[in-house]
């Protein structure tokens, strides 16, 4: 078989429009995701993987197996990436551009000359002078999030299958839909996947290893007022919009906000509103690395809203939904899962970079569904932006880590 590089694969996958659609109830939420899954299934079969299966009728999840090359008992591990892209940015007609041996000068994207990547503003980019940088053309995202992860997994599978002398156990692969709209784990069949642990490839810089995420709830706060004709409303109207505005204004601003926190700081974040005089609801994200702290955030919201309701003569109702939990609560019980990833990153010649994810991944959910799943870098930079980029060197490093990790789990000594 001709040697297809990871970059070749990536450049092909990004041209398929897989933008997730929040307003659709179907799974996958957009038809392009299924188109990419079918293309990937074809490639995996061509590579020679066993039981390649797109769950087309039901859910659009793609699963496949790289058979073991060692006879001894080695745990089955999995690699997971998502095929959808962010609904926040156009994903149709993505035209990837490879800036070979980038010399460090500004990269002006041709379809929108105001879209400029500057080394001075982007330390991660400045560190890659001389590399083959890949961008979109200025009006769309690139889709490295997470087609970089998809390409790295397919390329690693091709490498392992064509090098049967590399010792590894059974390896499972899954490509999931709709991660960007929080549904990636919804219909993930953990039993069918049949791995003892997995790794998402959905991260940034070379060497990154993430095993802590936020714990997350979403709260709906609804103020109920009283509407009447505004011309004859004196002494009667109770405006729920004004109550909601007062509530939002009282939320902490110099702390507990996305705009004022970093690293391990949590936040309370009003992000959507449905206003009317009669009834106004505000959706508020609760986020912290300590799950118990979400209860304190909830109480804070209830206290502030309750106080405003009393002042304004409105009634207030609350609804709280769990979203996901800090994967570390699970991963701390499986130190090998993170430890072996660290070891593989070192064997690939990189330095592990460990930092908390200020968000969630499919792994945050999967870990609590019985599949401990930390996250590895795939070379995604400026995700959800028209300035999104990756590099050939990042993609190749991600492939190397997957190949090393397979061998670390097989208990082999230093990789070949
Ligand atoms: Zn992603």
pLDDT 10s digits, 80-109? 999 999 998 999 999 999 999 999 999 999
CA 141 to ligand 1 centroid distance, Å: 13
Res. 1 pLDDT band, cuts 50 70 90: very low
Residues marked active site are found at 84, 179
Res. 57 pLDDT band, cuts 50 70 90: low
Q: Assess whether pLDDT exceeds 50 at residue 123.
A: yes
Q: Assess whether pLDDT exceeds 70 at residue 48.
A: yes
**CA-wise closest residue to 404 among 345, 326, 361, 362:** 345
CA 50 to ligand 1 centroid distance, Å: 26
Q: Looking up tokens 């970093």, which residue turns up?
A: 262
CA 199 to ligand 1 centroid distance, Å: 13
User: What stretches of 128-228 show up as alpha helix (H) in DSSP?
Assistant: 144-162, 190-193
Q: Assess whether pLDDT exceeds 90 at residue 299.
A: yes
pLDDT 10s digits, 361-371? 889 999 999 99
Pull the structure tokens for residue 74.
């080695």
pLDDT at res. 54: 83
Res. 50 pLDDT band, cuts 50 70 90: confident
314 touches 223 (CB < 8 A): yes
DSSP state of 290: S
**CA-wise closest residue to 247 among 180, 302, 174, 205:** 302
CA 125 to ligand 1 centroid distance, Å: 19
| Dist CA 179 CA 57 (whole Å) | 19
What is the chain's mean pLDDT, rounded?
A: 95
The DSSP bridge partners found for residue 269 are 285
Q: Assess whether pLDDT exceeds 50 at residue 416.
A: no
Q: What are the b/e assignments for 35-47, b being 16+ CB within 10 Å? A: ebbeebbebbeeb
pLDDT at res. 141: 97
Res. 56 pLDDT band, cuts 50 70 90: low
**What would the mean pLDDT of 61-87 be, rounded to a whole number?**
96
CA 309 to ligand 1 centroid distance, Å: 39
| Dist CA 134 CA 390 (whole Å) | 5
**What would the mean pLDDT of 309-332 be, rounded to a whole number?**
97
pLDDT at res. 415: 40
CA 143 to ligand 1 centroid distance, Å: 9
Q: Assess whether pLDDT exceeds 90 at residue 412.
A: no
Give φ, ψ of 73 to 5 degrees: -75, 105
Give the rounded percent of residues in the chain with a pLDDT score beyond 70: 98
DSSP state of 174: E
Element (H, E) at 398: helix 392-409
Total count of residues recorded for the chain: 416
Give the rounded percent of residues in the chain with a pLDDT score beyond 90: 92
Q: Assess whether pLDDT exceeds 60 at residue 414.
A: no
DSSP letter for each residue of 338-361: HHHHHHHHHHTT---EE--BSS--
- Residue 219 has a CB neighbour count (10 Å cut-off) of 21
Cα atoms in the 13 Å half-sphere on the side-chain side of 90: 10
pLDDT at res. 29: 95
DSSP letter for each residue of 206-236: TTEEE--B-EEEEEEEEEE-B---GGG-TTT
CA 319 to ligand 1 centroid distance, Å: 28
- Residue 311 has a CB neighbour count (10 Å cut-off) of 10
Full-prediction pTM beyond 0.85? yes
CA 102 to ligand 1 centroid distance, Å: 25
CA 114 to ligand 1 centroid distance, Å: 26
336 touches 270 (CB < 8 A): no
Q: Looking up tokens 């908390």, which residue turns up?
A: 356
Q: Assess whether pLDDT exceeds 90 at residue 388.
A: yes
Angle at 52 between CA 49 and CA 56, to 5 degrees: 160
**What would the mean pLDDT of 405-409 be, rounded to a whole number?**
98
Element (H, E) at 249: helix 240-250
CA 386 to ligand 1 centroid distance, Å: 15
**What would the mean pLDDT of 52-71 be, rounded to a whole number?**
88
**What would the mean pLDDT of 261-266 be, rounded to a whole number?**
95
| Dist CA 179 CA 217 (whole Å) | 17
**What would the mean pLDDT of 264-288 be, rounded to a whole number?**
97
CA 82 to ligand 1 centroid distance, Å: 7
DSSP-based three-state secondary structure for 157 = helix
Q: Assess whether pLDDT exceeds 70 at residue 174.
A: yes
pLDDT at res. 2: 54
| Dist CA 285 CA 316 (whole Å) | 18
Pull the structure tokens for residue 185.
């784990």
């Amino acid at each position: 078989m001709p040697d297809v590089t990871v970059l070749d694969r990536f450049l092909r996958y990004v041209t398929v429009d897989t933008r997730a659609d929040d307003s659709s109830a179907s799974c996958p939420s957009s038809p392009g995701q299924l188109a990419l899954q079918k293309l990937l299934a074809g490639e995996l079969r061509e590579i020679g993987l066993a039981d390649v299966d797109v769950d087309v009728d039901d859910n659009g999840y793609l699963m496949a197996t790289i058979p073991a090359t060692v006879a001894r008992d080695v745990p089955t591990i999995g690699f997971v990436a998502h095929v959808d892209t962010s609904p926040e940015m156009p994903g149709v007609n993505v035209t990837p551009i490879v800036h070979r041996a980038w010399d460090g000068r500004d990269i002006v994207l041709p379809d929108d000359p105001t879209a400029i990547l500057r080394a001075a503003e982007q330390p991660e980019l400045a560190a890659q002078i001389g590399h083959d940088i890949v961008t979109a053309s200025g009006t769309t995202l690139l889709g490295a999030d997470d087609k970089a992860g998809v390409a790295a997994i397919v390329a690693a599978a091709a490498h392992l299958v064509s090098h049967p002398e590399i010792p590894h156990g059974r390896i499972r692969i899954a490509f999931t839909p709709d991660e960007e709209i929080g549904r990636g784990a919804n219909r993930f069949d953990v039993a069918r996947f049949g791995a003892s642990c997995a790794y998402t490839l959905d991260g940034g810089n070379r060497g990154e290893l993430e095993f802590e995420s936020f714990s997350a709830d979403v709260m709906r706060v609804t103020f109920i007022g009283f509407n009447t004709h505004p011309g004859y409303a004196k002494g009667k109207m109770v405006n729920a919009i004004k109550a909601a505005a007062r509530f939002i204004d009282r939320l902490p601003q110099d702390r507990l906000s996305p705009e004022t926190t970093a690293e391990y700081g949590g936040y309370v974040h009003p992000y959507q509103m449905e206003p009317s005089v009669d009834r106004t609801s505000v959706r508020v994200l609760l986020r912290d690395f300590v799950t118990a702290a979400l209860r304190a955030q909830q109480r804070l919201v209830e206290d502030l809203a309750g106080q405003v309701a009393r002042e304004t003569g409105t009634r207030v109702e609350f609804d709280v939904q769990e979203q996901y939990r800090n994967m570390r609560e699970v991963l701390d019980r499986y130190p090998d899962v993170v430890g072996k990833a660290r070891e593989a990153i070192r064997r690939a010649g990189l330095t592990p970079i460990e930092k908390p994810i200020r968000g969630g991944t499919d792994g945050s959910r999967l870990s609590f569904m019985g599949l401990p799943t930390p996250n590895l870098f795939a070379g995604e930079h400026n995700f959800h932006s028209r300035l999104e980029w990756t590099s050939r060197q990042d993609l190749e490093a991600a492939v190397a880590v997957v190949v090393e990790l397979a061998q670390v789990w097989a208990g082999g000594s230093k990789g070949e």
